[in-house]
Structure 1
Amino acid sequence: MEATSRQCLALWFPYFACERVRMAAGLTILAPPDPLALVSRTGNALRLSAVDAFAVKAGLETGMTLADARARCPTLVTKPADPVLDARELDRLVRAMVRFTPMVAADPPDGIVLDVTGCTHLFGGEGELARQAMALAGHTARYAAGPNATAARALARHGGGNGARNGDVQALPVSALELPEDALAALRRAGLQRIGDLSRRPMQTLAARFGEEMVTRLRQILGEAASPIAPRRISAPIRLETRFPEPLIRTDDALDAVEDLLEQAARDMEARQLGGRRFAVTLCRSDNARRRLVVDTGRPERDPAIVLRLLHERIDTLSDPLDPGFGFDSIELAVSRTEPLAARQMALEGSREEASDDLSALIDRLSVRLGPNRVLRLTSCDRHLPEVAQRLLPAREAKAADWPVEEVLLPRPALLLDPPQPVDVIAGVPDGPPQRFRWKGKLHEVRLAEGPERIGAEWWRKRTGHLVEGKQPTRDYYRIEDAQGRRYWLFRHGLFEETPNPKWYLHGLFP
């Protein structure tokens, strides 16, 4: 097609990063909380990298130093910027937009471009498609249409948004060219304020004065040059089916056919460098009855023998035996969940490289036989309070090596008491370690004490109408050894400047 025959739709989310943070905190975008800004370090200064609509109303803008922003808006709430999470959220939106057109591309850091040529009539027109797309995204958005991605993007970001079309490009400011600031300043000094002012000048003169890149972008915005996009490619699902001229009346024969399908799927996944995490087999009987068997694996797999063994385990645990009836006339296999799986190097003697393979296989078999919620594994949490620093998850979902890799200078007890038990403590000085304590009516003389290890409260997790509010007492932990050689982990709940009479608790026991 010619460039002028295409139709592109650009979505711009002006408060994308801040709204992502609010959604993650469980707060609505439309609520009137304090202004929010995301902060990143630029050089030796902390600057605002993103602001929300409430911060804009308060007179804040990106690029301001954090000190200036707080002086202008004392109620400003700040969070650290996280470009990685922003990119993941944008990628999620791109995947969701595929329902409107297969030609969808991300426009980092806060936009999406859709090539909707020939698609708008399916959704009631261009405007209705844009409204559905913005509702699906859930973010504050502006949209515009143009003959190519560059024109639509410029209209959405610099043309006032929502409904702007290619006919409005003449009124766009020269900042829509997104040139360096010195080039934009030179254009303004020459009296060229709008795209229409540039369109009436000879292109050769503009190229000689401001460079060929500027002329190319100008022609793309005017619709005179193509601006192709790199759409996100959706991989074809891994689904296989086999039909039989005569129904299979033996379950073993059906499982042999399943093994053939697994081998075909393994070749397909190997070519894509993928491994399956969920395999679904559907056995279709000649009387239209269907039996579906689903097995999950704790790690990406494409070995047919491993998946077939799990299917045997699943069949053995069925309360209703797998009855072929008058026979199975077709079998379907779907790998509904995949993850990247590169080829692994074998050892010189031909053995497997990773010793965790046997453990992963055992976890898979036990999870299939007993149920996924009965085989659990401890996994770490991004929390620094000891009682919430870990949690139990199904072993197939939890990762064996996801504990934070950091130098632990202070030991932790192997046994934590839930909840911590109150104790009566006598200390030599108010902020000092205990000299003796009473637990369960028994007095313990302290022989050795080490500490304190100070752990602050998670004040940001107390939510009211704002992102963060509230303050809880600080904990001072001590490692204690009594006269009999038994070791304990005690903490004082609160500093004396926080509470007049802080209490003591026994939180753990050392072996």
Structure 2
Amino acid sequence: MNDTARACGLRLGEAEADARARIPHLLCEDADPEKDTALLGAVADWCARYTPLVALDGKDGLFLDITGCAHLFKGEEALLKDALERLHRQGFCVAGAIAGTAGAAWALARYGSGGVLADSQERQALAPLPLAALRVSSEAVSGLNQVGLKTIGQLYDRPRAPLTNRLGADLILRLDQALGWQGEAISPRFEAPLISAERRFFDPISQLDDVKAVALSLAGQAAKALERRVEGGRVFELSLFRVDGAVQKFRVGTSSPLRDPKRVLRLFAEKLKADEGAIDAGFGYDLVRLDVLVADKAPAVQSALTANGAVEANASLDDLVDRLGARLGSERVTRLLPVDRHLPESQTGYVPAAFARQDALVWSGFLKSAAAPDLHRARPSANPQLGFAEDTRPAEEAKPSSWQEGLMTRPLRLIEPAEEVEALAMVPNGPPLRFRWRRSIYQVVRSEGPERIAPPWWIGASDRPSEAKEGVTRDYFRIEDTEGRRFWLYREGLYERETSRPRWYLQGLFA
């Protein structure tokens, strides 16, 4: 009910038919708790113009922790007046109060005259208020009323032990919290940003170019703060506060710590370009805010003297990932990362590129490791049936200087699923001599292998059927045909131990 309905004598709990009989022009709508909750959340977003610490209070209230924020609005009284007047103009029936404790502010807003309570005045201000102002249950209020206790002040000098024994400890806890004798923490809807920069306007702005210009200026302020912290932003959020109370928020993430204001603006431009109708200025924006929600360490780099432009190249790739993520969504721009699985087709997984760590981009078969020093480089061999090419360099020169220069033992891209081929081998466990794949016959002139991948012991148990792919041994061969084409084949199953007829599969092609 609104104030007009209460003034007409209506009370909660009455039947609608009785109420309409008394007031024929009564307006009623079905309750919609979900929409009420969404509306309260929208008002909470709007209240973030005063403080980032906003918490929900039941179904119809908000707690704002304005510690350290009041001076930005010329004092607590001016802040409260501004908030109430703006909400009244938006059509809300609202009351508010500012006090040193959440309990006192709640009591004054709902059962008192509101306003700003001076420090250490909670005891006097709460004394004449009813017991319901302590945020206790209706049963506790009814029990206290039965013994003649009507106001909060009547509890001050009462012995606490009998009250606790009869009504529980919640009554005394709420009283101490309201008086400031017991601490009380509120739970904000969102964590306060690490860095925040905002711009307020006497005359609202509505043009997209004006919004971009303000965002660029705010990004410059945030960059200076990030530089002082020796950090770079990873998640930025741009909030646009309309004069009618609506709030529009746009969030972008980065693949690496970022401070450059122009790059930050480009990310938001891509975000807005993806949805041209995302910005609806209405009657204009009177507040624009840029928040840095997540940041990482980012020491200063003198990019002009870097070797071979490596830093610039990495920055270009990061910029591309960030722009695509801003337009398409960070979760849709992915890259492959290694997975600790034994089968090649299971050793990769897609993760958002913006959150992939560079030191995790290592696959078995593409990096020379100490654990398997001979696995990632072909051994010199004069027998064309045992190797792809001879390496006549000295041992110290044959070692690749980096893993990118090493000889790859596995294809960059796999055929998924692997395609079965018809292969002819001289001996059951030997390399193939020729094979048929996709109606074509390929004659093998060079081969290398096998590289055996055995199943883990918990998969390759003796009672597992041979049809289970994970439980069968694979022997992989790198082969080359008469035309110089190179293939990656494997034989599935050990002859006479796992199967009587091993099968051959083609799983990849070498470039």
Q: TM-score range by the shorter chain?
A: 0.3 to 0.5
* Greater relative contact order (Cα < 8 A, sep 6+): 1
More strand per residue = 1
TM-score, with structure 1 as normaliser: 0.48
TM-score, with structure 2 as normaliser: 0.48
Q: State which structure, 1 or 2, has the greater radius of gyration over its C-alpha atoms.
A: 2
